[in-house]
Amino acid sequence: MMHSALLSLSLLVAGAAAQAENLYTSTATADVEAARATAKTSSPTSNVKGKAFDRFVVIWLENTDYDLAAGDANLSWLAKKGITLNGYHAVTHPSEPNYIAAIGGDYFGMQNDNFNQVDANVSTVIDLLEDKGITWGEYQEDMPYTGFEGKAYVNQKTGANDYVRKHNPGVIYNSAAAKTDRLALMKNLTQFYVDLENDALPQWMFITPNMTSDGHDTDVSVAGTWTRTFLEPLLEDKRFMKNTLVLVTFDENETYSIQNRILGILLGDAVPSKLVGTTDDHYYNHYSEISTVSANWDLHTLGRFDVGANVFKLVADKTGDVVREWDGKVALDNMYFNTSYAGYFNTNGGNQRYPGPNLGSCTKSHKRTVLPSIKKAWSGNPAPVYYGLGVAIPDGLNPPTGYAPVL
Ligand SMILES: *[C@@H]1O[C@H](CO)[C@@H](O)[C@H](O)[C@H]1NC(C)=O
Ligand SMILES: *[C@@H]1O[C@H](CO)[C@@H](O)[C@H](O)[C@H]1NC(C)=O
Ligand SMILES: *[C@@H]1O[C@H](CO)[C@@H](O)[C@H](O)[C@H]1NC(C)=O
Ligand SMILES: *[C@@H]1O[C@H](CO)[C@@H](O)[C@H](O)[C@H]1NC(C)=O
Ligand SMILES: *[C@@H]1O[C@H](CO)[C@@H](O)[C@H](O)[C@H]1NC(C)=O
Ligand SMILES: CC(=O)N[C@H]1CO[C@H](CO)[C@@H](O)[C@@H]1O
């Protein structure tokens, strides 16, 4: 009797929790107002020392080919204050798979910008950070309230595109969106300034400007101006610069028929002065955003493409990681990263099974192991594992075994 009462109570609780990822999707005015009035916002702080930086800030702009980005006056002004990453590549097209790759270590075949939800048993860098007590947050310009899960929210006066879910990596993963305490950390840019004022910024943050500011509906000069306007005062702000490393980059190159290389700029007071104004030519991709953070704070790994990904050189020099050359069968110059392989989210068909993480993985260049909770969830699962330990990653033209795309 008591047992079954307890059981149904816990089922109820589990049922309620499992719905959190779908509770805040409405864009009807009344629903938005109601949710805004009750949305929980939190801003916990921490101060976990890293080997190369104590704070990591990622800012993503949109759809710009390398040369165009490098030629923008305001982006090159920023680049002169830091390190230009000359060998940084996106992982596929279009936007959304690139965003999810940057925190989850794969894009699971996604070749679309749909309302997607990655199952709760797939972990992200958020799990790695929380495991070591490192605070994180997202700041999404013009998201109508903290924890909003809808597909888009347009400018209420003009109807123009504004906030879009496809550029918010955290909310796409149910491992984050199904937990209300994690939704409370997915905030808008207004909250960035609140947190800055209160000296309550987290140690890891992902910042997405709106569809105008990020260049998506405009061009690189708008994106460059926005980025400089946003960052210039922060570069001098002691509440922001606390041994901080800022990465400014793009989700993807614009032209699909050419290689998907994008501009990356590393900035901030964590950049040693002797490296200011220099260029780093090594091969990096969005998975380097995870491996760099893992290396810096000695985090576990996800066991996916983060394991082999190069750690940014300025960080690797302090963590003992080795920055390696592209080691794929196909030369890097012949890799386009312009189409997705098959997988769970590929709406063209093909193998839709999630691959399992590589549970035994660590490489010669580092000894980081897979997060214990990931090991627990996936050990014994018969899912295929296609993650190696090298730097090279597949693309749709060179897919993982068993995951050839239907083109
Ligand atoms: C940003 O989020 C806060 C907290 O939910 C909300 O009160 C505010 O209205 C939002 N700002 C904008 C510009 O939508
Ligand atoms: C996007 O943000 C900019 C400021 O960063 C603002 O001027 C603009 O109104 C916002 N929305 C749209 C749809 O342009
Ligand atoms: C961006 O560059 C243009 C010149 O191309 C300049 O007029 C403008 O003031 C710059 N924006 C900022 C914020 O400095
Ligand atoms: C990717 O690039 C290759 C080489 O330019 C081209 O043949 C192919 O059509 C491109 N794929 C897409 C989807 O644009
Ligand atoms: C994760 O969830 C997917 C989708 O429900 C399922 O196919 C897969 O078996 C699950 N993996 C594990 C390890 O539970
Ligand atoms: C590798 C690379 O940069 N690919 C292309 C991205 O877009 C520019 C166009 O601006 C091309 O020149 C690059 O070849």
* Confidence (pLDDT) at 5: 39
DSSP, residue by residue, 249-315: EES--S-TTS--B--EEEESTTS-GGGTT-EE-S-EETTHHHHHHHHHHT--B-SSTTTTSPPPHHH
pLDDT at 106 over 50: yes
pLDDT, tens digit, 9 for 90 and up, residues 251-274? 887 776 777 888 899 999 999 999
45-55 per-position pLDDT tens digit: 999 999 999 99
pLDDT attached to residue 19:
87
Give 89's strand partners: 261, 285
Q: How far is CA 220 from CA 64, 80, 102, in A?
A: 7, 17, 21
Q: What is the pLDDT of residue 252?
A: 82
* 339 C-beta closer than 6 A to ligand 4: yes
| Dist. CA 399–CA 323, nearest whole Å | 24
Q: Which residues contact 5 (CB under 8 A, 6 or more apart)?
A: none
Confidence check: pLDDT of 11 > 70: no
Between the CA of 63 and the centroid of ligand 3 the distance, in Å, is 20
Give the residue numbers marked as catalytic.
217
pLDDT higher than 70, residue 60: yes
Per-residue pLDDT at 291 exceeds 60: yes
Please report the pLDDT score of residue 76 as a whole number.
94
Q: How far apart are CA 40 and CA 325, in angstroms?
A: 45
Give the per-residue pLDDT at 293.
Answer: 98
CA 61 to centroid of chain Cα atoms? 12
Question: How many angstroms separate the alpha carbon of residue 156 from the centre of ligand 1?
Answer: 13
Those residues with Cβ within 8 angstroms of residue 220's Cβ, 6 or more apart along the chain or in another chain: 61, 64, 68, 69, 72, 75
Residue 130 class from Cβ within 10 Å (0-12 exposed, 13-18 middle, 19+ buried)? middle
The tens digit of pLDDT for each residue in 168-198 reads: 999 999 999 999 999 999 999 999 999 999 9
Least confident of 9-18, 94-103, 279-288, 362-371: 9-18
Please work out, in degrees rounded to the nearest 5, the angle formed at the alpha carbon of residue 259 by the alpha carbons of 256 and 260: 75
Is residue 212 predicted with pLDDT exceeding 60?
yes
Taking the CA atoms of 58, 174, 23 and 151 in sequence, report the sign of the dihedral they define.
Answer: positive
pLDDT digits (tens, 9 = 90+) for 131-172: 999 999 999 999 999 999 999 999 999 999 999 999 999 999
pLDDT of residue 137: 98
Task: Tell me which ligand sits closest to the C-alpha of residue 337.
Answer: 4
Whose atoms come closest to the Cα of 162: which ligand?
2
Secondary structure (3-state) at 244: strand
Kindly state the average pLDDT of the residues 8-27.
67
Mean pLDDT of 54-64: 92
212 C-beta closer than 6 A to ligand 2: yes
Average pLDDT over all residues of the chain? 93
Cα-Cα-Cα-Cα dihedral sign, residues 336, 337, 341, 345: negative
Ligand 2 in reach of 252 Cβ (< 6 A): no
Tell me how far the alpha carbon of residue 37 lies from the centroid of ligand 1, in angstroms.
9
Residues 21-32 have pLDDT tens digits of 999 999 999 999
User: What is the reported pLDDT for 361?
Assistant: 65
Residue percentage of the chain with pLDDT more than 90: 85
Given this structure, which CATH class describes domain 48-378?
A: alpha beta
pLDDT of residue 280: 97
Q: What is the average pLDDT across 52-76?
A: 90
Cα–Cα distance for residue pair 277/175, rounded to 1 Å:
39
pLDDT in tens, 196-207: 999 999 999 999
What are the domain boundaries of the chain? 48-378
Q: How far apart are CA 186 and CA 159, in angstroms?
A: 23
- Chain-centre distance of CA 69, in angstroms? 20
pLDDT category of residue 80 using cuts at 50, 70 and 90: very high
Residues with CB under 6 A from ligand 5: 119, 121, 354, 377-378, 381
pLDDT higher than threshold 70 for residue 390: yes
3-state secondary structure of 246: strand
Higher pLDDT, 33 or 11: 33
Phi, psi angles (nearest 5°) of residue 281: -90, 0
- Rounded to the nearest 5°, which phi and psi values hold at 3? -60, -45
pLDDT band at 12 (very low <50, low <70, confident <90, very high): very low
Write down the pLDDT at residue 8.
41
Cβ–ligand 4 distance for 336 under 6 Å, the answer: yes
Q: How confident is the model at residue 328 (pLDDT cuts 50, 70, 90)?
A: very high
Q: Is residue 75 over pLDDT 50?
A: yes
Ligand 2: distance of its center to the CA of 36 in Å? 20
pLDDT at 407: 82
